[in-house]
Chains A and B, each alone.
Chain A
């Protein structure tokens, strides 16, 4: 007997909130669950029961009731609670959740099993409580126990009830359906009203949605064909009262005499604030407004519409400002008006975006339950740490994150964390920690899922990658960590044999990345062998409007998201180190003594820029994760708020645009995809995803195995090479900056000592005079160590054909010939291993890569 679709929907939403609260309470540590928490849990379930009963959702009522009984024991009879009961209650909560989510068919779900178990527990409790009390709630007629929750038992009503009771009145709740049948049977609304008022004093009369009704209107027939709910006092006994009114017996409920009884207690105790939850939506809304409540429920669709309109408003404003700019001087009084419109538009848009912001905590709070369940299932002791729950994100982004986070948390628990026995062996805390952490960084939010497990097993990943032919033709020892991490995102890696074969990670990571791409986010993985893995998601704060930098090159305006911009530099052509320098057709700029690779924006579509040296260009320094590079543009136009329009399908293949926008002048302009540009210009070495896909479809015979290397010299004459993909930065330093402590050498890097090594100490190469004053420190990614070079020769892009017969020197991959020079390619892993062995540390994982 569903009465009203809208109200049912309201009920569903409220019930979900209550269930969420309930779960959160029960997920506290057992010791922390005090009387107050139990009371809160009880109230949540009670509210659901009340409203569900009103809608005739009997199954929901039955489960909620049984849950209440158990909670009641704990609360009042001081029966002790154990883990088993919490499990049972959580399970019951899940069942309720299912029923609530499919509320229209909730009666068709089988619930006998859970009811039986709940009752069994209740019976146990009865015994524990010494059998002095049979559960009170069970004795009561179900209908009456929930019926009265609809009414607002404010103080006035309570006083009236008390007064009537003193003089021997009974208090009845009447559910009167003014159907045609009933009306004709009882002689019309007039007669019904007369009947009612003759035998009873009406205390409250409301519609099912909580609106107050009055007796005169009832008489006038205004409520015909409606359902009305009446709280009335009468001296008649129930049976007689029913007869007089001519309503069915089950439409009249008796308010229990004892107002401290279970039924009303929670509602009465908690006062009108909580009544809001028990009662119908309209009534609650009214209560909130009366009390000047701080929040209000608003339809999301409405907010979405508002947001779209605000976005369009920003565009219109931009246009208006551009158009009227020349008129500012001509029309007196125009500038302040424009400034006002400008300011107001921005703040309207900003505030509307804020309405959609929700704390990440609402999302994070779903995971304690997952961890609890996983902990039982996997038989591992897990603890979840949540940090930064107050960080806010746009609602749609938050929703989109839910599934990826489940994936990642599951992965962490399943694959990242070792078994309890293993942890003990390694001297780790038996209880493993999984961390969910959110933090702001500029206009993005970082969300980290970390574990303190074993870290990625790169050797294993390499084996699987090889077995699955995700990297045909490649020698296993040529995988870099970065490449191996990239392998994890390969769909071929993640789907097959996930549990049996993969003891590392990778379950569904490709799906995670796809989902994040859609939200405009990105994913990074960092792993420390033996210490754990951290997966970092970088998400935009909001969806459609971004702060951006407008630039122009070749007369084309383009938009760079401000979040990607680190700084802008105007080139002066005076100072020598203020210029762009070319190495082998690639350009570099010395930014505070660091080499910043730069690309001409126009180079993207017109690759031939040879011999071109920028004179009056501007460098936009961009950051992309750990990578920094400069984009050379001719004109910096300025900052603008930009509304992102989705990228048309025909532009997707270009790879350098992430979307389009409409500028203040009404023209369309592209938003640059910084990651895409970095890929296109080979600034990063992750062309793997594409080549992988090609390989899996058809093995490509002549795969391009060219890579970028930095050629450098140690003190000797040999030319050494290191893959650029492995390098974080290269610094030029003076000899005086080298500090020696014992056998070791350090430099000062950001007030931290950074150990530096000389390759010649670990490789069988010549040792030179070492009398120069300038050194370079090459810092590989992910390792706090620097490699000392006396000379950086150049960057080269070539395919190393390794001849391992000529050179089997440990610490190298072999020798190769590049531009008729013999070069020695360093195997960073074995080199670092040798270093660490020397420094007395043991890292076991990478040995497998050799």
Chain B
């Protein structure tokens, strides 16, 4: 059983394992800064701490113009410098995903954003794309000590 926070973004349902998630901010007050890299949606104040907010869809390389309302604040892993959050369309539920429903991404997806997908869970109504948080950051070499 995998505990996963599901969220909608673009046309898909995504999931991120809850162990990476610190909290969900449903009314983020975002400060966008000029000259910041494109994937950076802005910065927000989380009880006195500055959080860098990344546009999830732009990270994946498939931006849509759906309004994005929620910020998923990620836990700071050892070795990471900044607190990061993902700006998504809508965070939905925490669901238990049985491993039996999961499949690794097929090579068919490889050249899209295959590396950022950990598993695809075949839920009853919809496919749930469980993202690989570490790879996601690795691919974009984000939050490294030297970046």
Flag whether A783 is at the interface (Cβ < 8 A).
no
Instruction: Give bound CA distance, A657 to B34, whole Å.
Output: 10
Residues from 290 to 325 in A contacting B, C-beta threshold 8 Å: 312, 315-316
Residues from 650 to 697 in A contacting B, C-beta threshold 8 Å: 650-657, 660, 662, 666-670
Asked if A651 meets B33 with Cβ closer than 8 Å, knowing A312-B48, A315-B48, the reply is: yes
Residues from 17 to 66 in B contacting A, C-beta threshold 8 Å: 29, 31-37, 39-40, 42-45, 48-50, 52
In the assembled complex, which residues on chain B have CB atoms less than 8 Å from the CB atom of A668?
A: 31, 42-45, 50
Instruction: Give bound CA distance, A312 to B37, whole Å.
Output: 29
In the assembled complex, which residues on chain B have CB atoms less than 8 Å from the CB atom of A654?
A: 33, 35-36
In the assembled complex, which residues on chain A have CB atoms less than 8 Å from the CB atom of B33?
A: 556, 651, 654, 657, 670
Let me know if A604 and B35 touch, CB within 8 A. Answer: yes
Flag whether A784 is at the interface (Cβ < 8 A).
no
Interface centre among A556, A650, A655, A660 (most CB of B within 10 A): A650
Instruction: Give bound CA distance, A99 to B28, whole Å.
Output: 56
How many Å from the CB of A514 to the closest CB on chain B? 13
Instruction: Give bound CA distance, A605 to B34, whole Å.
Output: 6
In the assembled complex, which residues on chain A have CB atoms less than 8 Å from the CB atom of B142?
A: 649-650
Flag whether B82 is at the interface (Cβ < 8 A).
yes
Let me know if B45 and A667 touch, CB within 8 A. Answer: yes
In the assembled complex, which residues on chain A have CB atoms less than 8 Å from the CB atom of B45?
A: 662, 666-668
Flag whether B147 is at the interface (Cβ < 8 A).
yes
Asked if A649 meets B48 with Cβ closer than 8 Å, knowing A657-B33, A666-B29, the reply is: no
Let me know if A653 and B52 touch, CB within 8 A. Answer: no
In the assembled complex, which residues on chain B have CB atoms less than 8 Å from the CB atom of A77?
A: none
Instruction: Give bound CA distance, A653 to B141, whole Å.
Output: 14
Flag whether A645 is at the interface (Cβ < 8 A).
yes
How many Å from the CB of B133 to the closest CB on chain A? 16
Interface centre among A651, A656, A669 (most CB of B within 10 A): A651
**Which of A315, A605, A660 is within 8 Å of B43, CB to CB?**
A660
Instruction: Give bound CA distance, A645 to B81, whole Å.
Output: 12
**Which of A556, A604, A662 is within 8 Å of B50, CB to CB?**
A662
How many Å from the CB of A548 to the closest CB on chain B? 16
Instruction: Give bound CA distance, A605 to B37, whole Å.
Output: 12
How many Å from the CB of A85 to the closest CB on chain B? 51
Let me know if A648 and B34 touch, CB within 8 A. Answer: no
Nearest A residue (CB) for B33: A670
In the assembled complex, which residues on chain B have CB atoms less than 8 Å from the CB atom of A556?
A: 31-34
Interface centre among B40, B45, B142 (most CB of A within 10 A): B45
In the assembled complex, which residues on chain B have CB atoms less than 8 Å from the CB atom of A649?
A: 81-82, 142-147
**Which of B32, B34, B37, B146 is within 8 Å of A650, CB to CB?**
B37
How many Å from the CB of A663 to the closest CB on chain B? 9
How many Å from the CB of B33 to the closest CB on chain A? 6
Let me know if B52 and A650 touch, CB within 8 A. Answer: yes
**Which of A312, A650, A660, A669 is within 8 Å of B147, CB to CB?**
A650
Let me know if A662 and B34 touch, CB within 8 A. Answer: no
How many Å from the CB of B12 to the closest CB on chain A? 25
Instruction: Give bound CA distance, A798 to B97, whole Å.
Output: 64
Number of chain B residues close to chain A: CB under 8 A: 26
In the assembled complex, which residues on chain A have CB atoms less than 8 Å from the CB atom of B81?
A: 648-649
Let me know if B82 and A648 touch, CB within 8 A. Answer: yes
Instruction: Give bound CA distance, A733 to B118, whole Å.
Output: 72
How many Å from the CB of B139 to the closest CB on chain A? 14
How many Å from the CB of A642 to the closest CB on chain B? 13
Q: Is the interface of B mostly helix, strand, loop or mixed?
A: loop
In the assembled complex, which residues on chain B have CB atoms less than 8 Å from the CB atom of A667?
A: 29, 31, 45
**Which of A312, A604, A652, A653 is within 8 Å of B34, CB to CB?**
A604
Let me know if A669 and B36 touch, CB within 8 A. Answer: no
Instruction: Give bound CA distance, A316 to B45, whole Å.
Output: 12
Instruction: Give bound CA distance, A666 to B46, whole Å.
Output: 9
How many Å from the CB of B79 to the closest CB on chain A? 12
Nearest A residue (CB) for B143: A649
Interface centre among B32, B40, B48, B144 (most CB of A within 10 A): B48
In the assembled complex, which residues on chain A have CB atoms less than 8 Å from the CB atom of B34?
A: 554, 556, 604-606
In the assembled complex, which residues on chain B have CB atoms less than 8 Å from the CB atom of A554?
A: 34
How many Å from the CB of B134 to the closest CB on chain A? 17
Interface centre among A653, A654, A662 (most CB of B within 10 A): A662
Instruction: Give bound CA distance, A669 to B147, whole Å.
Output: 21
Residues from 88 to 120 in A contacting B, C-beta threshold 8 Å: none
Instruction: Give bound CA distance, A652 to B37, whole Å.
Output: 10
In the assembled complex, which residues on chain B have CB atoms less than 8 Å from the CB atom of A657?
A: 33
Let me know if B31 and A669 touch, CB within 8 A. Answer: yes
Let me know if A648 and B37 touch, CB within 8 A. Answer: no
Instruction: Give bound CA distance, A657 to B35, whole Å.
Output: 10
How many Å from the CB of A106 to the closest CB on chain B? 35
Let me know if A648 and B50 touch, CB within 8 A. Answer: yes
How many Å from the CB of B140 to the closest CB on chain A? 9
In the assembled complex, which residues on chain B have CB atoms less than 8 Å from the CB atom of A670?
A: 31, 33
How many Å from the CB of B84 to the closest CB on chain A? 9
Asked if A650 meets B50 with Cβ closer than 8 Å, knowing A667-B45, A668-B44, A668-B45, the reply is: no
How many Å from the CB of B85 to the closest CB on chain A? 11
Residues from 768 to 822 in A contacting B, C-beta threshold 8 Å: none
Let me know if A645 and B29 touch, CB within 8 A. Answer: no
Instruction: Give bound CA distance, A667 to B44, whole Å.
Output: 7
Interface string of A627-655 (1 = CB under 8 A from B): 00000000000000000010011111111
Instruction: Give bound CA distance, A315 to B81, whole Å.
Output: 22
Interface centre among B32, B34, B48 (most CB of A within 10 A): B34
Nearest B residue (CB) for A602: B34
In the assembled complex, which residues on chain B have CB atoms less than 8 Å from the CB atom of A645?
A: 49-50
Instruction: Give bound CA distance, A645 to B45, whole Å.
Output: 11
How many Å from the CB of A641 to the closest CB on chain B? 15
How many Å from the CB of A662 to the closest CB on chain B? 5
How many Å from the CB of B137 to the closest CB on chain A? 11
Instruction: Give bound CA distance, A670 to B145, whole Å.
Output: 21
Instruction: Give bound CA distance, A690 to B111, whole Å.
Output: 35
How many Å from the CB of B138 to the closest CB on chain A? 14
Instruction: Give bound CA distance, A554 to B34, whole Å.
Output: 10
Instruction: Give bound CA distance, A605 to B35, whole Å.
Output: 6
Asked if A650 meets B40 with Cβ closer than 8 Å, knowing A312-B48, A604-B35, A667-B45, the reply is: yes
Nearest A residue (CB) for B40: A650
Let me know if B35 and A650 touch, CB within 8 A. Answer: no
Instruction: Give bound CA distance, A604 to B34, whole Å.
Output: 8
Instruction: Give bound CA distance, A554 to B29, whole Å.
Output: 18
Instruction: Give bound CA distance, A302 to B11, whole Å.
Output: 51
Instruction: Give bound CA distance, A668 to B33, whole Å.
Output: 10
Nearest A residue (CB) for B82: A648
Let me know if B50 and A660 touch, CB within 8 A. Answer: yes
Interface string of A581-625 (1 = CB under 8 A from B): 000000000000000000000001110000000000000000000
In the assembled complex, which residues on chain A have CB atoms less than 8 Å from the CB atom of B145?
A: 649
Nearest B residue (CB) for A651: B36
Residues from 424 to 479 in A contacting B, C-beta threshold 8 Å: none
Nearest B residue (CB) for A315: B48
In the assembled complex, which residues on chain B have CB atoms less than 8 Å from the CB atom of A652?
A: 147
In the assembled complex, which residues on chain A have CB atoms less than 8 Å from the CB atom of B39?
A: 650
Nearest A residue (CB) for B80: A649
How many Å from the CB of B21 to the closest CB on chain A? 19
**Which of A316, A606, A650, A662 is within 8 Å of B36, CB to CB?**
A650
Residues from 92 to 147 in B contacting A, C-beta threshold 8 Å: 142-147
Nearest B residue (CB) for A665: B29
In the assembled complex, which residues on chain A have CB atoms less than 8 Å from the CB atom of B32?
A: 556
Instruction: Give bound CA distance, A649 to B147, whole Å.
Output: 6
Q: Which 8 A-B pairs have the closest CB atoms?
A: A605-B34, A668-B43, A654-B35, A668-B31, A648-B82, A649-B147, A648-B52, A645-B50
Ordered by A's residue number, 15 sampled pairs between the chains whose C-beta atoms are within 8 Å are A316-B48, A604-B34, A605-B34, A648-B81, A649-B81, A649-B143, A649-B145, A650-B37, A650-B143, A653-B37, A660-B50, A662-B50, A666-B29, A668-B45, A670-B31
Beyond A649-B142, A649-B144, A669-B31: 13 further Cβ-contacts under 8 Å?
A556-B31, A556-B34, A645-B50, A648-B81, A649-B81, A650-B40, A650-B143, A650-B147, A651-B33, A654-B36, A657-B33, A660-B50, A668-B43
